[in-house]
Amino acid sequence: MSVMDKIASSKRESFITNSPWIIHYDAASCNGCDIEVLASLTPLFDVERFGVVNTGNPRHADIFLVTGSVNEQCKPVIEQIYNQMVEPKVVVACGICACSGGVFKQCYNTMGGIDQVIPVDVYVPGCAVRPQALIDGVVKAIGILRAKREAMLDGKPVPTPALRVGAELEVVRHSPDDEPAPTGADASDAAKETK
C-alpha cells in the first residue's frame, strides 16, 4: 500500500464511526424507553465500551435517539434538535411508540411515530425497548453513519430516508395460508393423510 493510499484509507476511517456520540430526547413517551436508553449507558450494558458517549449538545451528536409518539408541542423541538445536528447524522426511533405511535396511536394528541416529523433511519420496536435491542439498533446506526460519511467523502448526496407523513407502518400478519410446510414427523403424518 502506497503512502497516498494509506492517507486515503485513514481519511475513510473516522472517529465518528468508531466513537459515535448520541443525544436522547423524549418526545411524548411514557418514560419506560427513556430509562432503558439511560440503562444501556450504565454498567450492566455499558455501551461506552464501544465508544458510545451520551451528550446533551445536538452539535456534538452523531446519533439521535428519539422515544415516544410525537405531539404538536414537541414537534418543533425535535425538528430543531435534528436541524442543529451536523451531517452525517442518523436517527434511531426507540420503542414502538416512536416507530408507529404504539399504544397511544389512538390518542387525540399524538401524531404517531417520529417519522411523521423527521426522517428515521433505524426502527427499534419494543414496549419498553430492551437495552439489548437498543444496542443492536445503535450498531446498525453506526453502519448507516459510515455509509453516509462515505457518500459525503465521494461528493454524492447523503442518502436520507423519506418522511412517512400519514403513512401506516407496515404490519406483517401471518395468515394460516402462509404457514410453512410441515417438517419431520409432522410431514410424514401429513403425507399419510393425503394418501
Q: Is the CB of 114 or the CB of 146 nearer to another protein?
A: 114
* Entry field: residues in the chain: 195
Question: Given candidates 8, 12, 18, 42, which one binds another protein under the rule CB under 8 A?
Answer: 42
Task: Tell me if 83 contacts another protein by CB under 8 A.
Answer: no
Q: What phi, psi does 91 have (nearest 5°)?
A: -110, 130
Q: Per CB under 8 A, which of residues 47..66 are in contact with another protein?
A: 55-58
Binding mask 19-38 for another protein (x = CB under 8 A): ------xxxxxxxxxxxx-x
Question: Given candidates 93, 94, 120, 130, which one binds another protein under the rule CB under 8 A?
Answer: 130
First-to-last CA distance in the chain?
66
Q: CB count, 10 Å around CB of 144?
A: 20
Q: Is the CB of 99 or the CB of 148 nearer to another protein?
A: 99
Q: For residues 102 and 114, is the Cβ–Cβ distance under 8 A?
A: no
Binding mask 136-155 for another protein (x = CB under 8 A): --------------------
Separation of alpha carbons 79 and 117, rounded Å = 7
Query: By rule CB under 8 A, what count of residues binds another protein?
Result: 38
Separation of alpha carbons 153 and 161, rounded Å = 19
Q: For residues 95 and 127, is the Cβ–Cβ distance under 8 A?
A: yes
CB of 36 to another protein, least distance (A): 6
Report residue 170 as a C-alpha cell. 407496515
Binding mask 88-117 for another protein (x = CB under 8 A): ---------------xx-xxxxx-------
Question: Given candidates 68, 88, 113, 137, which one binds another protein under the rule CB under 8 A?
Answer: 68
Q: Quote the radius of gyration of the chain (alpha carbons, Å).
A: 21
Task: Tell me if 81 contacts another protein by CB under 8 A.
Answer: yes
Separation of alpha carbons 129 and 115, rounded Å = 17
Separation of alpha carbons 174 and 161, rounded Å = 27
Return residues touching another protein (CB under 8 A): 25-36, 38-39, 42-44, 55-58, 68-69, 71, 73-74, 77, 81, 103-104, 106-110, 127-128, 130
